[in-house]
Chains A and B, each alone.
Chain A
């Protein structure tokens, strides 16, 4: 999507190879601040690999990644987090033995120097306490603060994933299949939660379910076998015959 302002995220000819397999093939994209994008495609299309090049868990074989015009291609994930990238995981990746609020507290204090403070109690950190409350309110989990994560339902864990992504107040949030494994009613709630996210937050969503993805974003990138096969607004993508063919093939 062409932008006139400084892009929040810019990928330039990003390619990821695993031996002879090209998982992501020369992908370029430019996302303006506050925009909501979806990256869709069938299984094995390269969506998660592309995500990992943005989050820093995968360094691209070639090409570059820039966040607000700063080249972050070689930066590790924790340095990217400090520059404003947050992400959630397709397979729930939480601290299962801790309570909900402790999970979000770890996220909230993650960008502060005080994360290495070992001589003060954690709960005396006022600003983080507000962030924890705020993030849990955003995902409707305020009443579950003292619940152990391993005692929560899968749907609630997905909500907590979202809170973890929000708690550090990122500028760019990557949501990796937020509705994976959810029931119909839970998907409705997740869709509402995503729609209610702060509007100044730049969002990139991976979703296998095309319909859910198209309902909550403004621009869609469609991948197949690591290649971009279509890019455009949701309505345009809905009418795109190539996209339909890819999804019919995968079904």
Chain B
């Protein structure tokens, strides 16, 4: 195993141990903030699946996020349904709205994709603010956490388990043939189409996957906050997810989680001490764009390869292809050369 892979494994192990130990090490308020950061980390990862891997930057993902949250909130506060019904309605609502949005956006790209998704988020926000069934601008209150997870630390572990499971699923997706085609879509849609891929179908599929994980984040957020309001669907929530992904490192899975932790802690912890925290957040974002375009994780990775001699050597001597592992045979396929 290479030094870099060992370091990655060690960081992952350390992160997992720290995550499991957090409720024992921190006071309830801090654990609650970590829970929120994990939920937004999942939300930002779902955005990154589209923006970072497929090059489809969405400005309306909060619409999907909020729909999942409203599904749970509606059943909990208006119907009084059980947790199972809340989850079912929350997930179904999120996926139905996602599929409609995906059909709307699958045939456009670039700036048009931005505009269509921006409008989609505004549609959900507009609907939520006007619908009296959804509490209009007051939102929905009385969303209770499942009784088995009502204690703050139990809810934390539930969130951690769900975020880890979803992260694993996204890791599998981005390393699959479909994940590779997403990166192709980001690189050149015309070339990808000429190679036999239907770009519209590829966009629909990734939109659905991102919507699935975004909905899960929304459902978890409803239980976390125990309150759902139109602010969940507002453009700022969509923008915040994109910001988290960019700040942490777009095109990586861990980056959006790191970005979520940075932004959630600035919003909820530093804001107590610094009155002008939005200015701080703005400056941090500008410095990220100017000084570390690959985000926090990208800068860390570049620094690792630049300053750690062993890692630098690994990068410069990497000549053996992963394709070669276990099989060196090169067989001519059906087309034969004379």
Contact = CB atoms under 8 A, between A and B. Distances in A.
Interface of A: 55, 57, 76-78, 81-82, 86-87, 89, 93-98, 101-102, 105-107, 109-111, 114-123, 125-127, 129-134, 137-138, 143, 145-146, 164, 166, 168-169, 196-201
B172 A106 contact: no
Contact of B190 (A57, A114, A168): A57
B330 interface: yes
B188 interface: yes
Given A78-B196, A129-B323, A94 B175 contact: no
A145 B325 CA distance: 13
B272 interface: no
B57 to A, nearest CB: 16
A55 B205 CA distance: 25
Interface stretch (B98-106, B123-131, B179-187): B179-187
Contacts of A116: 177-178, 181, 201-202, 205
Nearest to A137: B330
B2 to A, nearest CB: 13
Contact of A146 (B178, B183, B321): B321
A66 B172 CA distance: 41
A57 B194 CA distance: 9
Nearest to A145: B321
B113 interface: no
Given A78-B194, A110-B197, A118-B209, A201 B175 contact: no
A122 B182 CA distance: 12
Contacts of A101: 321-323
25 contacts: A78-B194, A94-B188, A95-B184, A95-B188, A98-B184, A101-B321, A105-B180, A110-B197, A115-B196, A116-B181, A116-B201, A118-B172, A118-B177, A118-B205, A118-B209, A120-B176, A121-B176, A122-B175, A122-B177, A122-B180, A133-B323, A134-B333, A146-B318, A146-B322, A198-B335
Given A94-B187, A116-B177, A169 B333 contact: yes
Given A96-B187, A118-B173, A111 B193 contact: no
Given A95-B184, A129-B323, 17 more contacts: A57-B190, A81-B193, A93-B191, A94-B188, A95-B187, A97-B187, A102-B183, A106-B195, A109-B181, A115-B177, A116-B181, A118-B177, A118-B178, A123-B323, A126-B327, A130-B329, A169-B335
B330 A134 contact: yes
B311 to A, nearest CB: 16
Interface of B: 172-173, 175-181, 183-184, 186-188, 190-199, 201-202, 205, 209, 318-323, 325, 327, 329-338
Contact of A115 (B197, B321, B334, B335): B197
Contacts of A168: 195-196
Contacts of B194: 55, 57, 77-78, 81, 86-87
Nearest to B334: A169
A102 B176 contact: no
Contacts of B338: 198-199
Given A110-B197, A111-B196, A115-B178, A132 B332 contact: no
A111 B334 CA distance: 15
A106 B193 contact: no
Nearest to B327: A129
Contacts of A76: 193
Nearest to B336: A198
Given A78-B194, A132-B323, A164-B195, A122 B179 contact: yes
Nearest to B332: A134
Contacts of A127: 333
